[in-house]
Structures are given as structure tokens and as C-alpha cells.
Amino acid sequence: MKRFSIVSLTCSIIIMLTVLTAGVKEKKGADFLRINDNIQNKELRAELEGLRDEFKFERTRIHDYYKEKIEGIKESRGNEMRTIKKDFSERREVLMKKYFGKMRKKTQIGTTEQIDKRPGEKKDLNDKKNIRKPK
């Protein structure tokens, strides 16, 4: 029994270490132009720094270029959506005029026909609340 508990404890520790180390992933390409601190050659270090600065400049240029393109495409999408909405609203109006007589008549909210107390009985206009207006 003692041997079984030691083996199970050892296995569980190994499994936990495997799980914990598997969760840590290295960043691939995150800082690929990182300059090693062990480089003693000043000329090499200066050229690597220049290369890194040039890369950052090119990267920001590309980001800005595509950002402008995306803004232009968003504007054109908005214009297209407005024209489509306008076109479909016009088509809807044509259909509404075509089927105007065949549509079910609805009463608007707040009209006296809808607020009747009982069907068949007319509503008194004196039942409304008086609203005081400031002087």
C-alpha cells in the first residue's frame, strides 16, 4: 500500500508538471528582431538597431495604408446601404399603394375608437384628465 501511494503521488506530480508546462507557449515571431545582449560588436549592434527601426517604420506604413483603405471601403459600404434602403423603401411604397384597399385597417394608438370602454358605447370626451398649464 505504501508503494502504491508513492507511485501514484509521483505520477500525479509528473502529470501536473506536464499540464503546467504545456500551457506555456512561446511567442513565435513576436519580437524576432530582438537584439541579443551578448553581442559585443558595436557596428553589428548599430546595424541591427537600424534594421529594427526600419522594420518598425515599414510596418507602421503598411498599417496606415490598409487603415485608409478600410475607411474608404466602410464609406462605400455605407453609401451602398443607403441607396439599397432608399430603393427598397420606394419599392415598399409601390406595394403599399398597390394593395392599399386590401390591407386590414388598423386604428392608431391613442385614438378614441381604440380606447372605448365597452364596444358599442361611445366614449365621453369629459372623461379626459385636465392638464394644467403653467402661467
pLDDT for 108-120, tens place per residue?
Answer: 776 555 444 555 5
Spatial distance between the Cα atoms of 125 and 25, rounded to a whole number of angstroms: 77
Q: Tell me the torsion sign for CA atoms 32, 33, 37, 39.
A: positive
First to last CA, the chain: 96
Determine the longest span between alpha carbons in the chain, in angstroms.
102
pLDDT score at 125: 56
Q: Computed over its alpha carbons, how large is the radius of gyration of the chain?
A: 38
What pTM was computed for the model?
0.43
What average pLDDT score do residues 100-114 get? 63
Read off the pLDDT of residues 6-33 as tens digits, 9 standing for 90 and up: 888 888 888 887 877 776 555 555 566 7
pLDDT score at 39: 78
For 124, the grid coordinates are: 365621453
Read off the pLDDT of residues 44-78 as tens digits, 9 standing for 90 and up: 888 888 998 999 999 999 999 999 999 999 999 99
- Residue 123 pLDDT more than 60? no
